[in-house]
Amino acid sequence: MLLLIYPPISIPSEPPLGLARLSGALTEHNIPHEIIDANIEGIHWLLKNTDKPVDTWSKRSMKHLGTNISAIKHGQAFENIWKYKKIVLEINRLLEMAGIEKEIKITLSDYVDRALSPVKSTDLITSAKTFKNNVFFDYFFRRFEAILKTDPITIAGFSINYLSQALCAFAMIGFLKYIRPDINVIIGGSLVNSWVKRGVTIDLFQGLVDKIIPGPGEKPLLSMFGIDSPIEKLYTPDYEKFKKELYLSYGFVLPYNTSTGCYWNRCTFCPERAEGNKYIQVEPEYALRELKEMVKIYNPSLIHLTDNAIHPRVLIKIAEKPLSVPWYGFVRWDTRMEQIEYLQALKQSGCVLLKMGIESADQRVLNKMKKGIDMERVKRALINIKTAGIGTYVYLLFGTPYETDESVEKTMDFILEYHDLIDFINIAIFNMPVNTPNAEGLILKPFYQGDLSLYTDFIHPEGWSRSRVRKFLDKEFKKKHLIKNIINRQPPFFTSNHAPFFMMEQLKVS
């Protein structure tokens, strides 16, 4: 029996698509398996088992826990952003309390241990050895013991996608190896894939991890059971083994991707390109047919298309054959985004929100980064997207090696000018991927003190260091009234995962 585990913490709004696709592959080939989304289960465990609070805010948060979760699940939380923030911050307060005693900062989207770092292999090993110190120990002790009593588990696979999951994943691995040394432990997921691209091998975690699977896990996992499968195949996601009622969203959010990798794959400093991740695209007609079948099975309130960028051919097909439920996802600024008829068709197909990366409003910076974006096209597209009634979630990136005083001002001026066309905004500071081929001519220096760090720092040629960017954002950019209004609409912790609900007609205040 195979056990697949998704460790804490990541945003608990929807089930993990990667594990669902693995489950689909195993189900198709009749391989017995179980799935534990320890992220959503563990979060609920902490919320319900937090020590009795002493301060007023925590007492109120505990008192309101049931009604707050219900408000998210049934939609009342999304009536306005201020009501939503109160609800989410109260839920998050209980998680913060759970970590205080162990000096661990836990939120609905992050896990930070002041003593252990997820970018140090020695700390991950320490987390495995001291599993009893983990905040989630009481949860996974009971959960694992219960399933091991009823199912003959021989293999345990961990899907580790974010740094915020790494320490908890290894605490769970350490516990499993302690009580059942015979269990073969496998690790995979996007974070593990990045480690392997950095040169990490099985020897680093000897005695804890028996196999590392980088990249798509379906083919190597099936091969362990003697089944040969094409690496290009994307199996139908299977969510039957997930506790769908636990996720903190309005109704059930159905994650689905029509591709892996990125079809553009040219951007300078892109991790996908730096790691050489292969682009695989499902035939749009097949993807849409499969998605509609899944809608019938799971009756979702929202579809999350998780592609790095949804291919235009897929968007055209969705516009031609509308989905029966609202959907959102990330797209590129292609020429069709200037066509009002096309955007209206997307709106009619169920599109409530489009996520789009602008990064910088300086055309020179965009050209240097090989983004393939024309700012004049972006301006026309934003107008038409808003006219069509689709929400916009815009991504900005400050501090790339091409940043200058002029480019920073252009980006700020652009947001100020088009503020009424932007519903949500994500502001990020540039991280230089380790071993990127585009760092030539830059003076590099350590970013994190750890052998598993995915990024490196550098001396900015124009003086736009991380500290200077942060100061600019805090002291100037975010202080602008029109920009501050956009920032205030950002859903805390859940960010783009909950943003679509504020654009859905049935959840808007009349």
Q: What is the CATH number of domain 269-507?
A: 3.80.30.20
pLDDT, one tens digit per residue, over 387-407 is 999 999 999 999 999 999 999
CA 338/CA 357 separation, integer angstroms:
16
375-to-47, 205, 361 alpha-carbon distances in Å: 46, 47, 7
Is the per-residue pLDDT at 274 higher than 90? Answer: no
Q: What is the mean pLDDT of the chain?
A: 94
pLDDT digits (tens, 9 = 90+) for 203-234: 999 999 999 999 889 999 999 999 998 777 88
Q: Which of 306, 315, 352 is nearest to 333 (CA)?
A: 315
pLDDT given for residue 34 in this prediction = 97
Q: Kindly state the DSSP code that residue 48 receives in the 8-state scheme.
A: H
What is residue 441's predicted lDDT score, i.e. its pLDDT?
78
The pLDDT assigned to 508 comes to: 65
Name beta bridge partners: 132. Answer: none
Q: How many CB atoms lie within 10 A of CB 143?
A: 18
Peptide bond into 9 cis (omega under 30): yes
309-312-315 Cα angle (round to 5): 95
Q: Is pLDDT at 304 greater than 70 in this prediction?
A: yes
Estimate the crossing angle of helix 38-48 against helix 137-150, to 10 degrees: 120
């996601």: which residue's tokens? 237
* Cβ proximity of 320 and 348 under 8 Å: no
Across the range 60-87, mean pLDDT stands at: 97
* pLDDT value for 233: 83
pLDDT at 425 over 80: yes
- Over residues 412-435, the mean pLDDT reads 95
H-helix or E-strand spanning residue 260: strand 259-260
CATH topology (fold) of 2-51+101-223: Rossmann fold (3.40.50)
Rounded to whole angstroms, the Cα distance separating 425 from 212 reads 36
Work out the burial of residue 181: count CB atoms within 10 Å of its CB; fewer than 13 is exposed, 13-18 middle, 19 or more buried.
exposed
Q: What is the pTM of this model?
A: 0.96
Mean pLDDT of 354-373: 96
| Choice among 338-342, 432-436, 455-459, 465-469 with the minimum mean pLDDT | 432-436
Question: Rounded CA gap, 209 and 144, in Å?
Answer: 17
Distance CA 423, CA 393 (A): 6
Backbone angles phi, psi at 400, to 5 degrees: -65, 165
Task: Note the pLDDT tens digit of each residue in 305-314.
Answer: 999 999 999 9
User: What is the spatial distance between Cα 21 and Cα 236, in angstroms, rounded to a whole number?
Assistant: 6
In whole angstroms, how far apart are CA 116 and each of 21, 113, 120, 165, 177?
32, 5, 8, 13, 20
Q: What is the rounded CA–CA span in Å between residue 156 and residue 186?
A: 6
Q: What is the mean pLDDT of residues 286-299?
A: 96
- Binned at pLDDT 50, 70 and 90, residue 483 comes out as very high
Structure confidence at residue 44 (pLDDT): 98
Percent of the chain with pLDDT over 90: 85
- What integer pLDDT is reported at residue 446 of this predicted model? 79
What is the structure's pLDDT at 510?
A: 36
b/e per residue 87-102 (b: at least 16 CB within 10 A) = bbbbbbbbbbbbbeee
Return the domain boundaries, the chain.
2-51+101-223, 269-507
Does 473 have pLDDT greater than 60? Answer: yes
pLDDT (tens digit per residue) in 121-142: 999 999 999 999 999 999 999 9
pLDDT grade for 8, boundaries at 50, 70 and 90:
very high
pLDDT, mean of residues 500-507: 88
Intrachain domains 2-51+101-223 and 269-507 with the same fold: no
Residue type, 313: R
Tell me, what's the pLDDT at 82? Answer: 96
